[in-house]
Amino acid sequence: MLKQSFAPLVNLLYPPRCPICGDAIGEHGALCHACWSGLVIPGEPCCSACQRPFGSAAVGEGSLCAPCLAHPPEHDGITAATLYTEGSRKLVLAFKHGRRIALSNLLGRLMLARLPVLEGEWLVIPVPLHRRRLWSRGFNQSALLAGEIARARGHELVVDGLVRTTSTPPLGGLGRRARARVLKGAIKANPSRLARISGGQVLLVDDVMTSGATTDACLRELRRAGAVRVRIACFARVLDEAL
């Protein structure tokens, strides 16, 4: 009620603008119609294991995509709010590098809209940043998104369930194998959280899933720590073939 009471004053002092293009909009935490239309939401039909969209192909229920047939995934499903396009890229850049952390609410809501109901108790664990990157940026964008999801669904947030022990160089421009080599041994389960993770169900949260090398490294450590189920949720997923 207090938030609603002060909303007109806030809108007067800080007129709401679309975070992508800057055009005037009706309320904070939203997008203009044009930018909303530019987002690509993955839909059906899709791979039953990784939710990779099949496009317009006629496939049966429970079908797997070629990558999952070639290499059966160790995760228990992937949920992406959007596919990585120019619109989602601008949102991620504004959020992560533009330090507009208030966008975590908008991105989190979009992720929640796609995330199925998770039965039972789940731990929500973000992809970790190395402490040097965390100090320079001031926040872990994946942790902010994980917090939005945990609060909305009533799950337990374990922000330090995974730790990045090695400061890795930027992975942009590297192939999947090169990324895997860089990340080898760089991410570990937090020893102080092993008892909590063992036997638990984990929702691993990231902002952008590119090749999957980072989430694979996290997944291996969570499995090694005894997690019985691991689902992955991200805001944007790079799947050029699905666009």
Instruction: State the CATH number of the domain containing residue 66.
Output: 3.40.50.2020
- Provide the residue range defining the domain that includes 8: 1-38
DSSP-derived letter for residue 169 is: P
- Rounded Cα gap, residues 28 and 103, in angstroms: 10
Burial 64-85 (b: 16+ CB within 10 A, else e): bbeeeeeeebebbbbbbbbbbe
Please give the tally of structural domains in the chain: 2
State both tokens at 92: 């991620």
pLDDT of residue 185: 84
Q: Is 187 left (phi over 0), alpha (psi -120 to 50) or beta?
A: beta
Tell me, yes or no, whether 184 and 225 share the same domain.
Answer: yes
**162 near 128, Cβ under 8 Å?**
yes
pLDDT digits (tens), the chain, 243 positions: 655 554 555 554 568 889 888 888 877 788 999 999 999 998 888 888 888 888 666 677 778 888 889 988 989 999 999 999 999 999 999 999 888 999 999 999 999 999 999 999 999 999 999 999 899 899 999 999 999 999 999 999 999 999 999 887 666 666 677 777 778 888 999 999 999 999 999 999 999 998 888 999 999 999 999 999 999 999 999 987 665
Tell me, yes or no, whether 12 and 95 share the same domain.
Answer: no
| Beta-carbon count within 10 A of 152 CB | 14
Tell me, yes or no, whether 25 and 93 share the same domain.
Answer: no
Tell me, yes or no, whether 23 and 51 share the same domain.
Answer: no
**114 near 41, Cβ under 8 Å?**
yes
User: What single-letter amino acid sits at 117?
Assistant: V
**196 near 158, Cβ under 8 Å?**
yes
Tell me, yes or no, whether 107 and 163 share the same domain.
Answer: yes
Rounded to 10°, the helix 103-114/141-153 angle is 60
